[in-house]
Structure formats: C-alpha cells, structure tokens
Amino acid sequence: MTAAAQTITAENASSLAGLPYSWEVESAPAASPAIGPAWLGAYQGIDPRVPPCQYLLARSGDGRLAALPMHVADAPTTPDADPRSYFGAAALSPADRVCCGSLQDSAATQVLANLDIADVFPALILGSLPGYRTEIMHSYWTPGLAAGLIDAAVGYARAHGIATIIAPWVADLGSAAALARELERRQAVASFWAVEHYLPLRHESLEAQIAAARSRDRYRYNFDMATVRKLGIDVRTLSAAELGASLPRIGALAAATRRRHGQDIPDTEVATVLARLLDRSVPLLAVGGFQHGTLVACCVSVEKAGRIYAKHAGFDYDILGTRSGAHFAVVMYGTLAAAYDRKASLIEYGVGAHQAKAFRGCQSRDVTSYLLTDRPHVRDIFRAAAALNSPQRRAEHARL
C-alpha cells in the first residue's frame, strides 16, 4: 500500500469509541492497550485538568485503521501536560510530579525559565496522557505511515496556532521507534526521559524461570519471598469476583502509593477506571498481598495478545510501613506467577525503580522525549536544557 492510498484526519475520541477491546486485540495486537479507545475511554473525564483525547486517524483504502492519540494543552495545568517537564523543568508545585520520573530542577529549570508561556502553549501532546505512551495503534502498516502521521500533526499544529509539539514517551520499540526516526529526521529536540522494563517468559513456570536465572536474580527472589513470609503476607491472584468486590480497596491502595510518590489523586480514581475497563470487557489480572485476610498490597495489569501490562500498584503503608520490602513479591513475582498461569509471553513492568528491577532480571529499553517547534529561539532553549538534563537522567538509569 502506498502513502497515497491512505487518508489522515484529526478526529475526536468518539470516532473510535465504538470499537470493542476485542478489535484492539485482534487488529492491533502489537500496540499497548494504554493508547487504545478502551483505556482512553476509561479515563475520560476522570481528571478535569487533563485535556480530552483526540486522534490522528489514518484510514487505508480498504477501511483499516491506524491511530495516534493526541491532546491539546492550552496551559500547564499538570506537569504531565507541560513539555518543559520532560526536558528538566521543576514541577509546578512540590505536590506535582511527572509520573515515574524524577525531575532535574536546577540548571535545566533555569534555562527553561527563559521561555514565556506563549513560547510553549498551546502544546500538542502526541500520545496517551493517561497511559504515558507515544506510539501508533495500527491494523495496517506502510513505510510512509509514521511520516504521514507526523506530517498531519505538524499541519494540525499550524492550522490551530499551536506553539510546540511534544512526543513525551517514545520507546525504542515498534511503531514508536518509527515515530522517533521521523521526528529525528525533522530535527526535533530529543531528551532522554527514562527506561521502561519488561521480562520475557521463556520457561514453563515461575519456578523454572528462577532456576534458570542469574545467581543475583535468584538471591533477590529468595530474599523478597522470605520478606513477605516474615510479614505474614499471602500473595495470590484474585478471582474475578474478588477483583470486583475489592475495587474500592484497590483504589485506596493505589492512591496511597501515588501520593507517596508526589501525585495526589482521590481514592476513587483507580477503582472507577478499573470498573470502566471491566465494563468494556478488558481482561484484568489482579495480584494481591493478604495479611490476616486483609488486602494490604496489590498490582493490577491489563492483558492483551499474550502480554501482561502492569498498570496499578498499591500498598497500605499504615500497616506495612514505607520500607516493608513487599513491593516486588507482589508486583513482580506475583504478577510473573500469574502470567505463567495465563500462558503469557511477556510482562511489561513500565518505568520506575530501574536499578531494583534490573537486579531482579528485567530487561529495559530507552524512552525518549521529542519536541518540535518552528521558533528557533524556543528550539535552542529546549536543546540547551536537554544537554543539561539528559546526562543526569541517564546516570539515574545507568545500565547494570
């Protein structure tokens, strides 16, 4: 198929709202569920500070689709919606943090302070704000698809008076890597943001995987499991009925964890999102840590096409304390055991806690932020900030 055989238009999220999750699994299996209509629909209206989702939709001549989510931010309502955050600027307030990443808020912040609000906003954010993913959901592929979508984004920005285009979470994988090549070809300013972690399931069971692991990985596993045994925590997969009944508790645990990492959300947010995903027939995998029958730790993942995407983790710090050591027994190994039971092929653990995940055998890939602007002085300032910020963030995520 040639580029001429497709049309690309900007449309609101309702254009894809009728697609069931089964379509995402069958027609776009390689894409993260965090960029699809089920996930984005579940988050619709949850946080009034987050601008609504739109899509750049490419339609092939035979009706197949490719979609790149996008949001238009008119002001820096949250750090996640502010392009400067990904290039080292400090958060708006001590209570606001960009998801899963520390902010280098000294030299880079001072450089970015030379920008006026009108230099940055309105900003076009390519990707899923509630999913922290910049990639294409596609049921077909052509050599020119990524280029066409970026061209469409640039055209949309010019037509709507948008100052900057930010692609914040471009992983070195699949359609995201194709977007990266197109952004680099257009001389977009790049800044390393983080690494995301994943673990292939290459054995028959968790026990077989641990037996085949490096000695340091086996040590960490045995240490983590001994820790939860001392705490009297039983780690197991929740049944569908248990998951439904436990949604309020899961929401409260997830909110407690987000607050501990600087993001203030209500206890009801995650519970509402998960309930909406279940209503859309999205398969969820929930692992819980129970102490004396009380759910004190949890990790909820989304299943898609043989992959498990860990999304919401939470802990009761009043009971466990802030350094209980229960995290990896629940989030990593509990999910790993459940994934083997589901015959999955890969777990995506996401970003954050890089060294701890690497010490437990996770592999990682780079996630880079890209910024496009027609204004030379804005580009120069972002480039200077990236030169200061990227080396520091790479040091935080040094390969082990």
Q: What is the CATH number of the domain that holds 72?
A: 3.40.630.30
Structure confidence at residue 92 (pLDDT) = 47
Residues 147 and 32 occupy one common structural domain: yes
Structure confidence at residue 30 (pLDDT) = 95
137/87 Cα distance (integer angstroms): 26
Q: Give the closest residue to 308 by CA, choosing from 317, 316, 299.
A: 299
Torsion of CA 98, 103, 105, 108, to 10 degrees: -100
- DSSP3 helix / strand / coil % (the chain, rounded to 5): 40, 25, 35
Is 356 inside any structural domain? no
Torsion of CA 13, 2, 171, 8, to 10 degrees: -20
Structure confidence at residue 91 (pLDDT) = 59
Provide the H-helix boundaries in the chain: 21-27, 37-42, 107-112, 117-120, 145-159, 174-185, 206-211, 215-230, 240-260, 268-279, 317-320, 327-328, 335-341, 354-358, 376-396
Structure confidence at residue 306 (pLDDT) = 97
Residues 314 and 287 occupy one common structural domain: yes
Structure confidence at residue 98 (pLDDT) = 53
Residues 374 and 263 occupy one common structural domain: no
* 225 CB burial (10 A radius; 0-12, 13-18, 19+): middle
Is 360 inside any structural domain? no
In the block, tokens 């965090």 appear at 34
Residues 45 and 117 occupy one common structural domain: yes
90/249 Cα distance (integer angstroms): 32
Residues 231 and 163 occupy one common structural domain: no
Structural domain tally of the chain? 2
Residues 282 and 314 occupy one common structural domain: yes
What secondary structure does DSSP assign to 218-285, as a single string? HHHHHHHHHHHHHTTEEEEEPPHHHHHHHHHHHHHHHHHHHHHTT----THHHHHHHHHHHHTT--EE
Is 357 inside any structural domain? no
328/324 Cα distance (integer angstroms): 10
Domain containing residue 316: 202-344
Structure confidence at residue 64 (pLDDT) = 93
Residues 44 and 187 occupy one common structural domain: yes
| Pairing verdict, β 65-73 and 123-126 | antiparallel
Residues 128 and 241 occupy one common structural domain: no
Residues 209 and 329 occupy one common structural domain: yes
Residues 371 and 317 occupy one common structural domain: no
Structure confidence at residue 33 (pLDDT) = 98
Residues 376 and 336 occupy one common structural domain: no
Is 120 inside any structural domain? yes
Instruction: Give me the residues of the chain with pLDDT under 50, please.
Output: 1-4, 92-95, 101-102
Is 349 inside any structural domain? no
Residues 213 and 316 occupy one common structural domain: yes
